[in-house]
Amino acid sequence: MSERDFDHPDVVLVPHGPMLLRGAESVQDLEGTVHAVDRPVVALCRCEKSSRLPWCDGTHKVIPR
Amino acid sequence: MRLPKPRGGLSEWLVARLAEPGLTGSAPGADSWDDESISLWTLHELSFRGFEDADDRAEWDPDLLGVRRDLETALEERLRARWTEAGAVAAPAPADVPTALEDLVAADDGPSLADFVRRRADRDQVLELLRQRSVYHLKESDPSAFVVPRLPVRAKAALMALQFDEYGDGDPNRLHSHLFARGLEAVGLRAEYGAYVDDAIPENLEMNNAGSLFGLHRRLRGAAMGHLAAFEMTSSLPSRKMVQGLERLGLEGPMADYYDEHVEADAIHEHLAARDICGTLADDEPDQAAEVLFGAFTCLDVEARFATAMLRVWEPQR
Ligand code: FES
Ligand SMILES: [Fe+2]
Ligand SMILES: [Fe+2]
């Protein structure tokens, strides 16, 4: 099967939310630290307000848009 | 797990019947909401892990299924009536389901037990909350697992991605219900499955029964997935507060780790649930859109009722 039936992007930007990343093995944060990924999907913080960067911790929901 | 303590005539009849399969005769009516709730909880449990002192065949005993159906019908009617009363939002267009879920969650004004734990709860209150929560967290995600074969392709794949994470990504040490059991042990509580069911207040049993009802009926698959979405969408920020409260009380360690894992995991799960599960389900089966919202509302509503009941005891003056 060469044609794919469904869109299944590796990166999805959530409106006013994080970036969902599928199938990654490691992520480098702003300081240059590399974090191992052990989940099928991770949410990377885009608002830079998370308490556990580079991951989203839901804080974006409480900052005024 | 052993059969729970009866809480009235119906649960007394039920427990006797489960312990001794030879008994016949019809079920009496329930004496109270408590009696009704523990009876339905017990009947549902036959489809999860069962009881060491009950006959495994009871799960499909036609008399008991009749009792279960009556209790489920009453519960579902009660839950739907609350949704109607709360102003049941009209079914959104499939593409709008994730936003409709966000709006519903944002409008939720139920009291927050996590806030209470973060700021003011004492150690005994936190331990009591953990005992109550253990009824669900020791079987975390199990009700949603029943829904997998009932979903169309995209929603099925997304639910599996979410469940894979709930079940430890293949590592038994990271399975969420196992992390909670380790947490219970670390704070000196019992960790075996179903340990504190006899302490569960009816609001807690109703919360569990609603989740099991949705998970066990194919007809209610939309409600089950809406319920899951609302649960995940109201988890990461409160989990962070739980961590802060546990640390404030010197309860860092495995229990705080359990909540810590949920800060990160549920910040991912909420999007999988709202968009990839509920959104695609509504796209493939548009009649499920309204059911998704009903399920989400129910999740918020049963939690609000549980939190209100707990806080009424802890902070009667507020
Ligand atoms: S995007 Fe979620 S906390 Fe920043
Ligand atoms: Fe979990
Ligand atoms: Fe989760």
**What pLDDT shows up at residue B304?**
98
Residue type, B154: R
Which ipTM did the prediction report?
Answer: 0.93
Given ligand 1 and candidates A30, A50, A53, which is best to mutate, with the most ligand atoms within 8 Å of its CB?
A: A50
**What pLDDT shows up at residue B317?**
82
**pTM (two decimals):** 0.96
Of A58, A46, A50, A36, nearest to A13 (Cα)?
A46
Section A15-42 average pLDDT: 94
What is the distance in A from the centroid of ligand 3 to the CA of B73? 28
Residue type, B238: P
CB B194 within 8 A of CB B1: yes
Confirm whether A2 is domain-assigned. Answer: no
What is the distance in A from the centroid of ligand 1 to the CA of B14? 49
Question: Which residue shows structure tokens 């969420």?
Answer: B176
- Whether residue B161 and residue A40 make contact (CB cut-off 8 A), yes or no, is yes
Q: Which of A56, A62, A63 to mutate to test the interface with B (most CBs of B within 10 A)?
A: A56
Point out which residues pair with A55 in neighbouring strands. Answer: A44
Confirm whether A24 is domain-assigned. Answer: yes
**What pLDDT shows up at residue A65?**
80
> From the CB of residue B17, how many other CB atoms can be counted at a distance below 10 Å?
21
- Chain B segment 256-285 residues within 8 A of A by beta carbon are 263-268, 270-272, 275
- Range(s) of the domain holding residue A34: 11-62
pLDDT at residue A45 tops 60: yes
pLDDT at residue A56 tops 60: yes
Tally of domains within chain A: 1
**What pLDDT shows up at residue A2?**
55
Confirm whether B259 is domain-assigned. Answer: yes
Banded model confidence at residue A1, pLDDT cuts 50, 70, 90: very low
What is the distance in A from the centroid of ligand 2 to the CA of B112? 19
**What pLDDT shows up at residue B87?**
84
Q: b/e string for A2-13 if b means 16 or more Cβ within 10 A? A: eeeeeeeeeebe
Q: What's the full length of chain A, in residues?
A: 65
Three-state secondary structure call for residue A15: coil
Confirm whether A4 is domain-assigned. Answer: no
Confirm whether A6 is domain-assigned. Answer: no
* Residues of chain B below pLDDT 70: none
**In this structure, what is the dihedral angle of CA atoms B176, B181, B185, B186, given to the nearest 10 degrees?**
10
> A3 vs chain B: nearest CA distance in angstroms?
16
- Range(s) of the domain holding residue B43: 9-81
Separation CA B71–CA B156 (nearest Å): 29
CB pairs under 8 A between A and B: 52
Are B102 and B38 members of one domain?
no
**Partner A contacted by B173 (CB < 8 A):** no
Tally of domains within chain B: 2
Separation CA B261–CA B30 (nearest Å): 40
Question: Which residue shows structure tokens 């967290």?
Answer: B137
